[in-house]
Amino acid sequence: MRFRVLGPVRFCPRTPAAAKPRAVLATLLVRAGSVVSSEALIDELWADGPPRTASSTLHVYICHVRKALAEGGVGRPLVSRAPGYVLDVERDDVDLHLFEELSERGRGALRDEDFAGASRDLADALALWSGPALSGVPQGVILRSAATRLEEQRLCVLEQRIAADLKLGRHRELTGELMELAVAHPLRERLHCQLIVALHRSGRPSDALRAYRAVRRSLHDELGIGPGPALNRLRDHVLSAAGSVPASAGAHRRGPVSRAHRRTS
């Protein structure tokens, strides 16, 4: 894999040393196969307003990227095409594309109830990440938006991998990871549902209820809303201690945004 954006932006064998040529490469990579206009690249590089020499400076950065690509034996994948440039690279050469392919394969396995296959493919997708997406470069509108989108995709894939592992009965193995995730994402209800499921199935009902109270408090304090139906059903189930927690509990909504209308009294 020659191009990496799921973490610090890198190109093998040599990443451009200067930050702005790296930002040009990153912007072209997240829109690989599509024309990125010179105007969009200039706005990305100089969000506070471009200098008078922006067009000529951009051309210099493009030359730096082309030189790095040529030294890496990529050929001429970066071509001028009105009104800007297009980077045409093989999908297998970009970690983002492999992440998307593995994620889709894992989701398909999950739908087909091949939980072992889903866990494996989704874990392989997550293993491609080495840090925050598109880090190590200055970010304008395009890269900030892409980084936000990619982080949401990563969290969704993580939740799906955990859902597969719960189906495989790996409750005890998951509790430590889920506790850390609950702290890192206090408003992400699906992760908290999964934590409560894992704790309850591990024979820790008091810890499961403690986890419920923690997310209820976070939702109230940060958003002024109460827990969603999935969390409340899990609480009721733990309190009643009747039967097993529904296996589908981990598949409910992943975030609180769509519930913003639900206010606590």
Predicted confidence (pLDDT) per residue in 167-204, tens digit: 999 999 999 999 999 999 999 999 999 999 999 999 99
The domain spanning residue 69 has which CATH number? 1.10.10.10
Residues 110-160 have pLDDT tens digits of 999 999 999 999 999 999 999 999 999 999 999 999 999 999 999 999 999
Q: Where residue 251 sits, what CATH number does that domain have?
A: 1.25.40.10
Which of residues 56, 71, 89 is at a domain's end? 89
Answer whether residue 102 shows pLDDT above 70: yes
Rounded to two decimals, the pTM is: 0.88
Mean pLDDT across 65-77: 85
Considering only CA atoms, give the Rg of the chain.
Answer: 22
Which residue, 42, 68, 89, sits at the end of a domain?
89
Where is average pLDDT lowest: 54-58, 166-170, 205-209, 259-263? 259-263
Q: Which domain, by its residues, includes 39?
A: 10-89
Q: Which of 43, 59, 89 is the last residue of a domain?
A: 89
Q: Which of 31, 34, 42 is nearest to 3 (CA)?
A: 31
pLDDT given at position 144: 97
Residue 114 lies in a domain: no
Identify the pLDDT of residue 265. Answer: 31
What mean pLDDT comes out for the span 25-44? 96
